[in-house]
Structure 1
Amino acid sequence: MADEDTASASKPTRPSMTSAMRSSSFLQEHQQYRPPSKPENHYGIDTVVEDMRATTISSPRQISPFNGIPSPDNPPRIVESGVSHELSHPNCTPAPGTSADKLVATLFYRHSAPRASNSIPSPKRAVSPKPPGSPKLSANEAELPPNMAPSSSLETFPLEPPASEPDPLDHIYGSHISPMCITSFLHLMSSFPLPPGSTDMASSHRCLRVGATPDHHPEVVELTMSPAPSPDYLSLDDLRKHELIYRFEREWNVDVALRTDTLWRRYPRLVVFDMDSTLITQEVIDLLAATIKDPPDLAARVADITHRTMIGELEFELAFRERVKLLAGLPASIFEELRPVLDVTNGVPKLISALKKLGVKTAVLSGGFLPLTSWLASELGLDYAHANEVVIDEATGKLTGEVKGRIVGAERKRELLIEIAAKEGIALEQVVAVGDGANDLLMMEAAGLGVAWNAKPRVQMEAGARLNGDTLLDLLYLFGFRDDEISKLAA
């Protein structure tokens, strides 16, 4: 028995694989041959399985399901291969049976009139009453600090000091209509109450003109806002004159033209112009007075009356008759002699050409003289021309200082505008009136849009839109035309 036990103990046992010898790879345990090196850029399945042991697999990317129904949380947006496109917002077109109340703002950057100052100088102390024998103020003492009264007299003390000029933000963000300018304007418009039932204002904008600089910054931009501010709170006329709008224009050195976005805004059918300081850069009656050398101060006197009349200080008809009397004795040939002297406003010939291509009727209603107005209308190709007709002595061929018929003043201009529109079968909503003086305000009011062209302060405030550029061709931007389209029309 002892020998058998010794023999069994000396017999080798059957090999077995312990847990320490085991691995998680069946291929590694049972593979009989492995090549000494791996071919470049080629890995077998065994290598992949082996390398996976030291790799952690991240959780799959979360993909939001598409339910097929666009909503504010899931907008209908396409982003693929560098193309980003979002379908229009629901305010672009009204629902069936409803109407869209949209407001269009056209912003013109005033590059030709950069603003250099950002504050109004404080009043001079010299205007205050001083006791006799008081010493003269030095130059440094002539300015009052901003927080002190400009007068020592209670009778002349203002109830409220003048507001300081806003900072010129275009100097900071760029001398053009910058994104910050548009953002500031939209923020301003959002401060006005919306119609009942409206919660948010949707907006869009497009550039109508870019500058000639290499960066091609926008200089005219059209913004469309929907819905417009509530007319029950603020009418469009009051909105145009709002202090916040005026301050915004001063901050960004722009002119803002506000219009209701109607069909007639884009399709005018009659444009009526004033002549002096609108179609031409001069006042004809001042040119006539300048030809009279005796008395030597006549031209200055007539020019002063003209200026006071244009800003609304004097009644136009009486002032016109008074000035015409001063021209008595001038030869009738003076009107022909002045033709080469007339300086047509920049952009006018191209503007008239563009309007004619669009089928728009044009007219000039002038408080000047018919011989020159009719000649200019024929040269430019205007359809209508109305002005004052002076009396000429047939025997001497000289002006008598009198006027035939009614004076073409403010009332007559409005009547003529309405008569021409009725004759052509044109609604007043499709009429545009352009002028610069107080005698143009009534015809601007009768038209669908009144445009003040480099006008006097009162006209700037009362007109529906203001243009203060260097070319009257800017009028076409108010109709929504882009610069390239205007170039084609004016060619």
Structure 2
Amino acid sequence: MAAQETAPTRPGRPSLNSSMRSSSYLNGNQQYRPPNKPENHYGIDTVVEDLNATSISPPRQISPFNGIPSVENPPTIVESGVSHELSHPNCTQPLGNSADRLVATLFYKSTAPRISNAAVPSPKKTQSPNPHGSDVDLIAPSSSFDTFPLEPPTAESEPLDHLYGSHISPMCITSFLHLMSTFPLPPGSNDMISAHRCLKVERDHEDRPTVVELTLSPAPSRDYLSLDDLRKHELIYQFELEWNVDVVLRSDTLWRRYPRLVVFDMDSTLITQEVIDLLAATIKDPPDLAACVADITHRAMLGELEFDAAFRERVKLLTGLPASIFTELRSVLDVTNGVRPLVRALKRLGVKIAVLSGGFLPLTSWLAGELGLDYAHANEVVIDETTGRLTGEVKGLIVGKERKRDLLLEIAAKEGIALEQVVAVGDGANDLFMMEAAGLGVAWNAKPMVQMEADARLNGDSLLDLLYLFGLTAEEVEKLTS
């Protein structure tokens, strides 16, 4: 009895307070360490309020406890630019089921930064009296109150990349995820789960990604909004404008990562010029011919003119040009930045490559040979055998929008390639049919209507960006192009 009275008193056991636990199992079932555990045994049931009073052998720094891992506080691992959350909802599906995931690839447009509204000169003020009491800036395409909309559009928002970083910042990603969370989910789904990968970062700045791939699961309800309609949604456009990015939305399918045929337009895609404009520029009489042909070309690319008729009209204006002009123009052609390494990468991946041009076969075939393309189709002009000059006529079918689509289908069938694994890249209205037929249609620095209708739009300075749509990282791209 006396021995018990002299025994040291065991200190009271500390407990978790409300700031150190979350709404997890421990919240309702607070656990404790059994008496038979040694004092230096530490597990999740030994979290205490004051670790300073506890001896630890060997001594080590203890990180403050920030909450029990739970749905509200999931453990997060960051490794090699990939963020993981240790949760498994919709992580993998049982055999026979499939997850409807959406992949969003964000490209920061570093070569075309938006100017802050504060730096933009104010539009010319109207001299007409404002019915509301004061002069206002007219920002609609109008110059008088007679035609001014009853609900004038608001000014464009301030470029947010100026505030949060000229790259795809965490705030940009957060804003995009918040935007996507506003769309209804499929029946039976309560939460959207996301993961991201940084595919490309600025040189010497690992914390400044310029291409980021986000995977969202599940995708917004297709019954509410189809993928085509989602791509054209005003909120997506507004987000792109605010953050100075291009957003490419694709279903996360197997074929997304494995293209087998890539088809390119030539003028303003594989090369930066329009060949027919180059031809017209060589004719000095009449002096305004080049401008006339360029105007027809521009309107045809916008879709304002029917391409076949516009092409015949322009070729007619080239009557009398020597056929040798096609050879002379070879040295003038300016291949688009990134095309040569892109072709090299695609060939290493075993992808077939074709160019379908509304231009002229002599130059298209030569360029295809220079780049190592597998197929080349373009228009054949009639050359007078006696004079060796263009007659102003076209031989055979015009390679317009219908013909481009048909040629794409013919090449895919010949190679035994499913259309889901075909990619079509162009910039003009005459490319829309082939882009629609392909599994993925990409608008490259394209006209407004083409940007709106295409599956994807890229507005960078290198066509090599196409590879990031297949989920390749900058490191993988470098290996493929070296």
TM-score (structure 2 length as normaliser): 0.82
Per the TM alignment, residue 118 of structure 1 is displaced from its structure 2 partner at its CA by 3.2
DSSP 3-state at the match of 1:223? strand
> Which one-letter code corresponds to 1:429 in the other structure?
E
> In the TM superposition, what is the alpha-carbon distance from 1:198 to its structure 2 partner?
0.8
Q: How much has 1:266 moved relative to structure 2?
A: 0.4
RMSD: 3.1
Query: Where do residues 442-461 of structure 1 align in structure 2 (5 Å cutoff)?
Result: 442-461=433-452
The residue that corresponds to 1:319 in the other structure is 310
Partners of 1:122 and 1:143 within 8 A in 2: no
Q: Does 1:423 align with 2:378?
A: no
Match of 1:133 in 2: none
List per-residue Cα deviations over 1:90-114 (Å, max 9, x = no partner). 3221123311100000000011111
1:222 has 2:222 as partner: no
* Among 468, 471, 474, the residue aligned to 1:477: 468
Any unmatched runs of 5+ in structure 2? 17-29, 34-43, 46-68, 78-82
Question: Closer, same or farther in 2 for the Cα pair 1:317/1:85, shift >3 Å?
Answer: closer
Asked if structure 2 preserves the Cα contact closer than 8 Å seen for 1:78 and 1:85, the reply is: yes
What secondary structure, in the 3-state scheme, does the structure 1 residue paired with 2:267 have?
Answer: coil
* 1:52-91 equivalences in 2 (<5 Å): 59=14, 63=31, 87-91=86-90
Aligned partners of 2:428, 2:76: CA distance in 1, in Å?
53
**Is 1:367 aligned to 2:322, yes or no?**
no
Question: Are residue 386 (structure 1) and residue 395 (structure 2) matched?
Answer: no
Mark the CA change 1:160 to 1:340 in structure 2 (over 3 Å): closer, same or farther.
same
Matched letter for residue 117 of structure 2: N
CA distances 1:257-281 after superposition (whole Å, capped 9, x unpaired):
0000101100011000000000000
**Superposed displacement of residue 423, structure 1:** 0.7
Please tell me the residue identity of whatever aligns with 2:159: P
1:134 maps to which residue? Answer: none
Q: Which residue of 2 aligns with 1:31?
A: none
Alpha-carbon spacing, 1:128–1:281, altered in 2? closer, same or farther (3 Å): farther
Residues 123 and 143 of structure 1 are in contact (CA less than 8 Å); yes or no, is this contact kept in structure 2?
no
- In 2, Cα distance between the equivalents of 1:346 and 1:178? 26
1:144·1:150 contact (CA, 8 Å) conserved in 2?
Answer: no
Note the 1:121-132 alignment, pairs <5 A: 124-126=124-126
Q: Which amino acid aligns with 2:252?
A: D
Equivalent of 1:144 in 137, 140, 146? 137
Structure 1 unaligned segments of length 5 or more: list them: 1-21, 27-48, 130-140
Following TM superposition, by how much is the alpha carbon of 1:332 offset from its aligned partner in structure 2, in angstroms?
A: 0.4
Give the TM-score normalised by the residue count of structure 1: 0.80
* Corresponding residue number in structure 1 for 2:64: none
- 2:125·2:138 contact (CA, 8 Å) conserved in 1? no
Deviation at 1:142, TM superposition (A): 8.4
Q: Determine the C-alpha separation between the residues in 2 that align with 1:265 and 1:85.
A: 22
Partner in structure 2 of residue 289 of structure 1: 280
Q: 2:389 aligns with which of 393, 398, 411?
A: 398
- Alignment partner, residue 92 of structure 1: 91
Contact kept in structure 2, 1:249 and 1:255, CA below 8 Å? yes
| Identity between Structure 1 and Structure 2 (%) | 74
Specify the structure having the higher radius of gyration (Cα): 1
Q: Residue 25 of structure 1: CA displacement? A: 8.8
- Give the secondary structure class of the aligned counterpart of 1:95: coil
Q: Which residue does the alignment assign to 2:193?
A: 202
| Partner residue in 2 for 1:185 | 176
CA distance in 2, matches of 1:144, 1:207: 41
Q: Letter of the aligned partner of 2:326 in structure 1?
A: F
Contact 1:311 1:437 in 2 (8 A): yes
Contact residue 273 and residue 279 of structure 1 kept, 8 A = yes
Inter-CA distance 180–318: structure 2 relative to 1 (3 Å threshold): same
